[in-house]
């Protein structure tokens, strides 16, 4: 059974940092591209970042480029999202995705003073 379990969300002040984690199981993680997405209140879900299966190449949405870093640990079946210089517009539920079809339950990130 495929499972993606996110953790690490919370409340942070503007300019702060958070590190999200996603634990994957039930599929061949090493051969699966992984990504992070987010959904702000009242808005559609949007793609944030992706990391390739084998090369580890990464891509980012323009809104987070230079502030967020996606990484993966294939030995642990984990994917991470390091988020720095967080801003109120980064508030939302953050979802881990595998292969474009597997979704986690999401973790809430709130950026507020």
Which run of H or E residues covers position 98? strand 92-98
Other Cβ atoms closer than 10 A to 82: 14
The partner residues of 80 in beta bridges, in order of sequence, read: 21, 71
Q: What average pLDDT score do residues 98-113 get?
A: 96
Q: Is the pLDDT of residue 46 over 90?
A: yes
Other Cβ atoms closer than 10 A to 16: 15
Q: Is the pLDDT of residue 93 over 90?
A: yes
**What pLDDT shows up at residue 56?**
83
Residue 57 pLDDT level (bands cut at 50, 70, 90): very high
**How would you label 62-79 residue by residue, b for 16+ Cβ within 10 Å and e otherwise?**
eebeeebbbebeeeebbb
For the segment 19-34, what is each residue's pLDDT rounded down to a tens digit? 999 999 999 999 999 9
């Amino acid at each position: 059974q495929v499972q993606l379990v996110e953790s690490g969300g919370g409340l942070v002040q503007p300019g702060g940092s958070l590190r999200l984690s996603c634990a994957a199981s039930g599929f061949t993680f090493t051969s699966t591209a992984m990504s992070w997405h987010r959904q702000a209140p009242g808005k559609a879900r949007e793609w944030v970042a992706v990391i390739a299966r084998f090369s580890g190449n990464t891509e980012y949405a323009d809104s987070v480029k230079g502030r967020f870093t996606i990484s993966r640990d294939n030995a642990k079946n984990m994917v991470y999202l390091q988020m720095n210089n967080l801003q109120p517009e980064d508030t939302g539920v953050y979802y881990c995705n595998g292969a474009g079809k597997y979704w986690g339950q999401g973790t809430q990130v709130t950026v507020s003073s």
